[in-house]
């Protein structure tokens, strides 16, 4: 099978890769580019573990073909922290004990970041609606929702101060 | 929370630790309360977990993230039939495909010896483990592994696996315990003979084992009862549902040593079981446990490790296999479906007079359904002298069942706690008051014989009664409030821990318990408490089986309890050695050196742990200690729920309006992660109650093997899960710890069923209580 040459931008850096036509973006990220922070839980778009941001929209990377990333701007969990400083969401997840096994955590953080960029002060209901495609089997979601609330509060304080 | 009548308390809003749970409190009540009975400096605080930064940045390495140079990728061919004889397997076409390096079937495994093997939480016959890894002669369920391929990449491996031709002769299949127990049912295993009352019989049967426990005079108890209620309940097969699929990489090196990297709850179990299956010494196998993406009991069994190892031996290259989600559903887990009859009799004064239960659980393809623990737990919350419990472990044509969080207890509680509720109601008694009047306490005999040591059943029920949720008004039509209580054991098993003191005053902690939910930290905190230093000054590592003493599975609610105990003991050895070092420093007798909170002192001299550590080279060299434990002082844990529901009579949909989980945890080492266990277990229980089931077609195949159709709870299905931590110290542990991981899943289905009954009058006798099932009951009542 002939490989396709794809030019894209990942976490702010230009990235090029070769992929087979049948390879998903998730496979490319994990197996070709070794960005293994994006996780595979179901490979059919139902668990949210592989959530990445692509041109400003959150998508399950397993439902995007690698070839479709041509010209796209992609953000993965590896691009959330700025340098050595964790993002407020990452801090909030740690302080709020919002992870147990941690395998769903990258997807939740990528999805939550996109939420807070659109809606800096979401209600509990809005957080629950936005995160409904991200499955977590360990926490029962309570501490995840509270941590997103805590991060939102902190980020708002930072913007107003 | 001002209405509590239980001892001193601290709350998560005012944590004692360095960094608290920073979540804002938007509620008018305290959602997470801790009813503490004893306080420590580190134990009971809420530090950030040691592996946290790796896990929020995507840096933590899970099994599927590992790809060694030269790795081949594997795929497993699985049975499309629920029950069939294998006439032949033709692998020739697959073997000739470009990019295929190895194909294996059961013929490549050594013959299984007829002996018992410890599979993590008990013994089973080696031939069963063997048969489940790769089917020999017969397939016993859809998804049963038949052959495997190693190829250049996963796509080629899958194509090649599908090119293997298997000639099957389909056989009749049985999906439930009552079907498989029928007199004319065909045997799944021609060599299976029923074990009865602990004795091996010569009866061929699909019932692998029949347990029976009785005490007192059951018939007289029922005869002396004013109210007797008897009902039968059925529950569906459900899956543990961890988000990370099973994975393995195996490298059979050219020096003859086998190295396995995998996602497992028990690296030593993988080592030992793989050694038995492949007939190589345990010392030839090193297992590196990667980070694990959930387990809940389902990642104790060995599935693919021996298969990947065989293919690595054939090719001389690392072989990696990662399951698909469909493989996970059809080839691993699940927890048994059940058929349970419960009968309860009580006198008008509210005293239970007799208890009787019959439990039949689906073991799946091989014996071992955890029905016996179900029978031990079914009436564990009650003190009644007259009781009788029968348990049947029944093989059926479903995947071989695996442990799932308090295995066996949830099905039993779904039945017992509804009947208890109904008896209370018929006697006109408050459901919590009735339970309290009959609550098990220290000295109560459990169904299977042992008497409880100190337990917190009464205290948990008292906390339920006193909780503001229990007395909060609940108005509106089709709404109801339910309660239920559940019990689960703890196990001790075996753990090891090594502490190495660094010259900067920090301590490396080496342990072998897979960390599924923050146990690196809860174990480190116990060492820190003894050493009198901060939790952050302990640096815990989970290491491979070559690098730490034997450690049993992360399971049975044992990790914080037992590996934490090993850390406690190792830390005590460090303290003893540091006293020797201080004595040397000051030229005094070691008996003259005292230790308190990390400071060593004698005759006016004193030195902090950090400074003494810095002088270790001058005082005798490195300071290091190892401790191993096999604890016997295990406590059990009781858990209860208060739940408010609203039932939509038009659709049968049940909405959870408010949920409170109460649990006796002995001592919450890290209250945030204890709350997390309670919340997570509760929500798994909610999923089991309302939606989750294996939907089996008439042909015995699973029709909903995706996360779209197997419906686990999402954020949108749930409210916040409030917690109330009750601490009744376990006298069998240095800090009073009880295991907290499991008991929380036990009461939710029963509590929700009781709430549905109060809301709409329907008595739900089947799980899941999905919209069609509830609608049918509401329409019929």
Instruction: Using the CB atoms, write b or e for B681-709: b if 16+ within 10 Å.
Output: bbbbbbbbbbbbbbebeeebbbebbbbee
**Helix axes A88-95 and A142-160, enclosed angle (nearest 10):** 140
Region A36-47: what's the mean pLDDT?
A: 98
Q: In this structure, what CATH number is given to the domain that contains residue A19?
A: 3.10.20.30
Asked if the C-beta of B20 comes within 8 angstroms of chain A's C-beta atoms, the answer is: yes
CB-CB under 8 Å, A149 with B683: no
CA B516 to chain centre: 11
The residue count for chain A: 161
Same domain, A103 and A144: yes
CA B412 to chain centre: 16
Q: Which residues pair with B358 in a beta bridge?
A: B341, B390
What would the two tokens of residue B72 be? 């081949």
Q: Are strands A51-54 and A73-75 parallel, antiparallel or unpaired?
A: antiparallel
As a whole number of angstroms, the distance between CA B323 and CA B245 comes to 6
Q: Is the ipTM of this complex over 0.95?
A: yes
Same domain, A93 and A71: no
The residue count for chain B: 781
Q: Are B413 and B381 in contact (CB under 8 A)?
A: no
As a whole number of angstroms, the distance between CA B175 and CA B584 comes to 71
Same domain, B303 and B422: yes
Same domain, B329 and B188: yes
Which of B26, B683, B707 is opposite residue A47, by nearest beta carbon?
B707
Last residue of a domain, one of A49, A79, A109: A79
Query: A75 lies in which domain range?
Result: 4-79
DSSP B136: -
Q: Which residues lie below 8 Å from residue B392, measured CB to CB, with a gap of 6+?
A: B177, B181, B207, B209, B210, B358, B359, B360, B361, B371
Same domain, B420 and B507: no
The pLDDT of residue B123: 83
What would the two tokens of residue B751 be? 């509590």
Same domain, B606 and B710: no
Asked if the C-beta of A46 comes within 8 angstroms of chain B's C-beta atoms, the answer is: yes
DSSP B483: E
CA B367 to chain centre: 19
Last residue of a domain, one of B629, B658, B680: B629
Same domain, A56 and A97: no
Same domain, A39 and A105: no
Query: B551 lies in which domain range?
Result: 495-629
CB-CB under 8 Å, A39 with B293: yes
Reduced to 3 states, what is the DSSP secondary structure of residue B59?
coil
CB-CB under 8 Å, A81 with B57: yes
What is the pLDDT confidence band of residue A124, given thresholds at 50, 70 and 90?
very high
Same domain, B564 and B685: no
The pLDDT of residue A13: 97
CA distance A20 to chain B (A): 11
Residue B67 lies in a domain: no
CA B91 to chain centre: 38
Of B439, B435, B437, B440, nearest in space to B482 by CA: B435
Last residue of a domain, one of A79, A112, A139: A79
Asked if the C-beta of B748 comes within 8 angstroms of chain A's C-beta atoms, the answer is: no
Total domain count for chain A?
2
Phi, psi of B546 (to 5 degrees): -80, -15
Last residue of a domain, one of A62, A79, A96: A79
Same domain, B756 and B620: no
Same domain, B586 and B669: no
Total domain count for chain B?
3
Q: Are strands B654-664 and B721-726 parallel, antiparallel or unpaired?
A: parallel
Same domain, B439 and B462: no
Q: Which residues pair with B215 in a beta bridge?
A: B387
Same domain, A94 and A152: yes
Asked if the C-beta of B292 comes within 8 angstroms of chain A's C-beta atoms, the answer is: yes
Low-confidence ranges of chain B (pLDDT < 70): 1-28, 781
Same domain, A110 and A155: yes
Q: Which residues lie below 8 Å from residue B315, measured CB to CB, with a gap of 6+?
A: B72, B101, B102, B150
* Number of Cβ within a 10 Å radius of residue B532: 18
CB-CB under 8 Å, B242 with A95: no
Asked if the C-beta of A61 comes within 8 angstroms of chain B's C-beta atoms, the answer is: no
Q: Which residues lie below 8 Å from residue B56, measured CB to CB, with a gap of 6+?
A: A86, A90, A93, A94, A99, A102, A105, A106, A109
Instruction: Map tokens 């390096």 to a residue.
Output: B101
Reduced to 3 states, what is the DSSP secondary structure of residue A81?
coil
* Number of Cβ within a 10 Å radius of residue B39: 12
CA distance A70 to chain B (A): 23
As a whole number of angstroms, the distance between CA A95 and CA B22 comes to 6
The pLDDT of residue B781: 66
Same domain, A71 and A122: no
Same domain, B593 and B682: no
Same domain, A71 and A93: no
CB-CB under 8 Å, A47 with B673: no
Asked if the C-beta of B238 comes within 8 angstroms of chain A's C-beta atoms, the answer is: no
Q: In this structure, what CATH number is given to the domain that contains residue B342?
A: 3.30.365.10
CB-CB under 8 Å, B21 with A101: no
Last residue of a domain, one of B595, B629, B663: B629
Model confidence pLDDT, tens digit, residues A79-118: 999 999 999 999 999 999 999 999 999 999 999 999 999 9
As a whole number of angstroms, the distance between CA B141 and CA B135 comes to 10
């Amino acid at each position: 099978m002939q490989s396709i040459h794809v030019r894209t931008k990942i976490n702010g850096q230009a990235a090029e890769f070769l992929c087979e036509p049948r390879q998903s973006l998730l496979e490319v990220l994990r197996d070709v580019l070794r960005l293994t922070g994006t996780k595979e839980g179901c490979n059919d778009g139902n668990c949210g573990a592989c959530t990445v941001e692509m041109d400003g929209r959150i998508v399950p990377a397993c439902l995007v073909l690698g070839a479709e990333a041509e010209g796209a701007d992609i953000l993965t969990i590896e691009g959330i922290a700025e340098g050595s400083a964790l993002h407020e969401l990452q801090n909030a997840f740690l302080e709020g004990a919002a992870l147990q096994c941690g395998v769903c955590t990258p997807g939740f953080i990528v999805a939550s970041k996109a939420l807070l960029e659109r809606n800096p002060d979401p209600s509990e209901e809005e957080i629950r609606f936005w995160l409904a495609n991200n499955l977590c089997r360990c926490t029962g979601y309570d501490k995840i929702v509270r941590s997103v609330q805590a991060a939102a509060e902190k980020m708002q304080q930072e913007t107003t101060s | 929370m001002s209405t509590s009548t239980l001892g001193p308390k601290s709350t998560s809003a005012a944590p004692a630790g360095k960094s608290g749970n920073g979540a804002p409190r938007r509620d008018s009540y305290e959602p997470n309360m801790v009813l503490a009975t004893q306080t420590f400096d580190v134990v009971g605080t809420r530090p950030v977990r040691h592996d946290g930064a790796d896990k929020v940045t995507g840096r933590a390495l899970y099994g599927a993230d590992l790809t060694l140079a030269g790795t081949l990728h594997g795929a497993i061919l699985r049975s499309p039939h629920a029950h069939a004889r294998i006439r032949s397997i033709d692998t020739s076409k697959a073997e000739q495909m470009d990019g295929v390096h190895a194909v294996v079937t059961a013929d490549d495994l050594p013959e299984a010896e007829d002996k018992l093997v410890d599979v993590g939480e008990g013994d089973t016959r080696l031939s069963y483990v063997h048969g489940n890894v790769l089917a020999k002669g017969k397939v016993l369920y859809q998804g049963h592994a038949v052959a495997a391929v190693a190829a250049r990449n996963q796509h080629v491996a899958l194509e090649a696996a599908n090119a293997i031709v298997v000639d099957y002769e389909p056989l009749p299949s049985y999906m439930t315990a009552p079907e498989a127990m029928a007199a004319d049912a065909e045997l799944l295993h021609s060599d299976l003979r029923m074990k009865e009352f602990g004795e091996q019989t010569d009866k061929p049967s699909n019932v692998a084992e029949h347990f029976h426990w009785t005490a007192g005079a059951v018939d007289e108890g029922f005869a002396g009862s004013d109210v007797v209620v008897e009902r039968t309940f059925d529950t569906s097969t459900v899956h543990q549902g961890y988000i990370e699929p099973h994975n393995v990489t195996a490298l059979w090196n050219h020096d003859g040593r086998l190295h396995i990297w995998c996602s497992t709850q028990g690296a030593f179990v993988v080592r030992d079981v793989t050694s038995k299956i492949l007939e190589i010494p345990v010392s030839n196998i090193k297992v590196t446990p990667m980070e694990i993406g959930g387990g809940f009991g389902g990642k104790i069994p060995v599935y693919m490790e021996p298969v990947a190892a065989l293919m690595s031996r054939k090719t001389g290259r690392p072989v990696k296999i990662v399951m698909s989600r469909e493989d996970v559903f059809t080839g691993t887990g699940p927890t048994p479906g059940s058929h349970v009859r419960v009968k309860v009799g009580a006198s008008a004064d509210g005293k239970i007079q007799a208890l009787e239960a019959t439990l039949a659980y689906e073991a799946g393809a091989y014996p071992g359904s955890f029905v016996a623990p179900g029978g031990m737990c079914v009436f564990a919350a009650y003190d009644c002298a007259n009781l009788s419990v029968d348990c049947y472990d029944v093989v059926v044509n479903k995947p071989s069942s695996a442990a799932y969080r308090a295995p066996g207890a949830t099905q039993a509680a779904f039945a017992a706690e509804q009947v208890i509720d109904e008896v209370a109601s018929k006697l006109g008694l408050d459901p919590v008051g009735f339970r309290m009047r009959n609550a098990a306490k220290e000295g109560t005999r459990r169904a299977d014989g042992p008497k409880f040591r100190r337990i917190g059943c009464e205290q948990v029920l008292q906390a339920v009664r006193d909780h503001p949720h229990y007395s909060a008004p609940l108005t509106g039509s089709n709404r109801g409030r339910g309660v239920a209580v559940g019990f689960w054991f703890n196990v001790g098993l075996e753990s090891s821990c090594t502490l190495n003191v660094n010259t900067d005053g920090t301590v490396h902690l080496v342990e072998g318990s897979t960390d599924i939910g923050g146990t690196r930290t809860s174990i480190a905190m116990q060492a820190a408490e003894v050493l009198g230093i901060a939790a952050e000054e302990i640096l815990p590592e989970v290491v491979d089986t070559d690098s730490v003493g034997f450690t049993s599975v992360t399971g049975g609610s044992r990790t914080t309890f037992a590996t934490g105990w090993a850390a406690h003991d190792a830390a005590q050895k460090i303290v003893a050695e540091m006293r020797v070092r201080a004595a040397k420093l000051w030229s005094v007798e070691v008996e003259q050196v005292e230790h308190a909170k990390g400071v060593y002192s004698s005759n006016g001299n004193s030195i902090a742990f950090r400074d003494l550590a810095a002088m270790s080279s001058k005082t005798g060299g490195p300071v290091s200690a190892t401790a191993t434990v096999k604890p016997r002082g295990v406590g059990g844990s009781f858990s209860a729920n208060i739940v408010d529901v609203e039932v939509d009579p038009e659709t049968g949909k049940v909405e959870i309006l408010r949920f409170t989980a109460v649990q006796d945890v002995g001592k919450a080492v890290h209250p945030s992660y204890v709350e997390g266990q309670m919340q997570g277990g509760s929500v798994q229980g909610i999923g089991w109650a309302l939606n989750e089931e294996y939907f089996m077609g008439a042909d015995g195949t699973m029709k909903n093997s995706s996360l779209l159709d197997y419906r686990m709870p999402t954020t949108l299905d749930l409210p916040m899960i409030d917690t109330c931590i009750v601490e009744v110290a376990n006298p069998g542990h240095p800090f009073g710890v009880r295991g907290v991981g499991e008991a929380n899943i036990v009461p939710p289905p029963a509590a929700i069923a009781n709430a549905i009954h109060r809301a709409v009058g329907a008595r739900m006798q089947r799980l899941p209580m999905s919209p069609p099932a509830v609608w049918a009951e509401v329409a019929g009542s």
